[in-house]
């Protein structure tokens, strides 16, 4: 199982860096025009979806004839593939950069869940395009999007693989099932949010989901889960806030009373008592 996971990760990392380029000679002028077409296609696809968009509409947005678009991208599907690559590649690069600084299954898993939730919140149009229109077709498993998704989810496979090697997770952990639980569960949870049915707190959701996924798999169970730690920190913070508020109220009341002698806590001197008369 471990060798299979490593092979998937290596193959994903070896994807050529320039595979999102348009066809034809890569002159500066063609590259600028290709960027304009790609930006227009992204706007149209995200606004209308793939099926309801047309190449002629994209060409009109750029200010060129439809036939010119096909000299850069042979079909509407190829244009969509270029749009998806352009949106996924920065996300995968960001994941790689931050993931490489993390160690331990809990912190890595929490980061991947948190980052995936942010995609739904920050890129709802992209999420709708991918889930509602692109992944529903029978050609998905032979598509560019499938290859991108394999690369995107490979970070979770690396997390589990390293955790098994380090003894954090049992060697019989079902890696594919765990990946399906994480990404499939988040997709199901966020589906309503994509279509305007409520919002989520990404930080809280990431804590809870991480604890739910890893709790049964870790030797310490929920004892040190992010949910418990977060809840404890929240309670302590509330107590401290209440203490500060009470102290402020007491100080205001003291300062408002002109007949109140200075507090020994402020002057550092003991309070003056009644003076004793000297003996005759």
**Contact status, residue 183 vs residue 153, Cβ threshold 8 Å:** yes
Dihedral sign from CA coordinates of 157, 161, 166, 171? positive
Q: How many residues does the chain have?
A: 280
End-to-end CA distance of the chain, in Å? Answer: 101
pLDDT for the residue numbered 219 = 76
Phi-psi label, residue 276: left if phi above 0, alpha if psi -120 to 50, beta otherwise:
beta
What's the pLDDT at 5?
39
Ramachandran sector of residue 4 (left: φ over 0; alpha: ψ -120 to 50; beta: rest): alpha
Helices 55-62 and 28-48 cross at an angle (nearest 10°) of 120
Query: For residue 166, with 0-12 CB atoms within 10 Å meaning exposed, 13-18 middle and 19 or more buried, which class applies?
Result: exposed
Question: So what's the pLDDT on residue 175?
Answer: 93
This prediction's pTM = 0.69
Q: Which two tokens stand for residue 72?
A: 């850069």
What is the per-residue pLDDT for 19?
42
| Cα dihedral 106, 108, 109, 115 in deg (nearest 10) | 140
pLDDT reported for residue 106: 95
In the chain, the domains with their CATH numbers are: 17-78 (1.10.10.60)
Residues 6 or more apart whose CB falls under 8 angstroms from that of 251 comprise none
Cα–Cα distance for residue pair 37/131, rounded to 1 Å: 24
User: What is the maximum span of the chain, computed from C-alpha positions, in angstroms?
Assistant: 119
Query: What pLDDT shows up at residue 142?
Result: 83
User: What is the mean pLDDT for each group of 10 consecutive residues in the chain (280 residues)?
Assistant: 39 39 75 93 92 94 94 92 91 94 95 95 88 73 88 95 94 93 93 85 95 86 44 45 56 56 47 50
90-101 exposure pattern, b = at least 16 Cβ within 10 A, e = fewer = ebbeebeeebee
């Amino acid at each position: 199982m471990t060798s299979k996971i490593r092979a998937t990760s290596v193959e994903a990392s070896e994807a050529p860096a320039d595979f999102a380029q348009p066809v034809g000679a890569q002159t500066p002028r063609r590259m600028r025009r290709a960027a304009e077409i790609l930006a227009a296609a992204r706007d149209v696809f995200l606004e209308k979806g793939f099926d309801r968009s047309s190449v002629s509409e994209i060409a009109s947005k750029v200010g060129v004839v439809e036939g010119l678009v096909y000299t850069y991208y042979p079909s509407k599907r190829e244009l969509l593939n270029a749009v998806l690559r352009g949106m996924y590649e920065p996300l995968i690069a960001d994941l790689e950069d931050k993931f490489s600084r993390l160690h331990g299954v809990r912190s890595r898993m929490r980061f991947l869940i948190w980052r995936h939730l942010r995609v739904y919140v920050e890129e709802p149009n992209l999420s709708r395009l991918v889930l509602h229109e692109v992944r529903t077709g029978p050609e998905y498993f032979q598509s560019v999007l499938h290859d991108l998704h394999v690369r995107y989810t490979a970070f979770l496979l690396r997390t589990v693989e390293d955790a098994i090697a380090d003894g954090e997770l049992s060697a019989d952990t079902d890696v594919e099932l765990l990946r399906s639980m994480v990404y499939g569960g988040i997709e199901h949870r966020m589906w309503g949010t994509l279509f305007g049915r409520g919002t989520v707190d990404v930080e809280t959701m990431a804590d809870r989901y991480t604890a739910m996924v890893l709790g049964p798999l870790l030797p310490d169970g929920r004892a040190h889960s992010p949910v418990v730690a977060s809840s404890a920190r929240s309670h302590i913070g509330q107590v401290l806030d209440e203490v500060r508020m009470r102290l402020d109220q007491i100080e205001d009341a003291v300062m408002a009373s002109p007949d109140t002698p200075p507090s020994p806590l402020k002057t550092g001197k003991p309070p003056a008592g009644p003076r004793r008369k000297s003996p005759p």
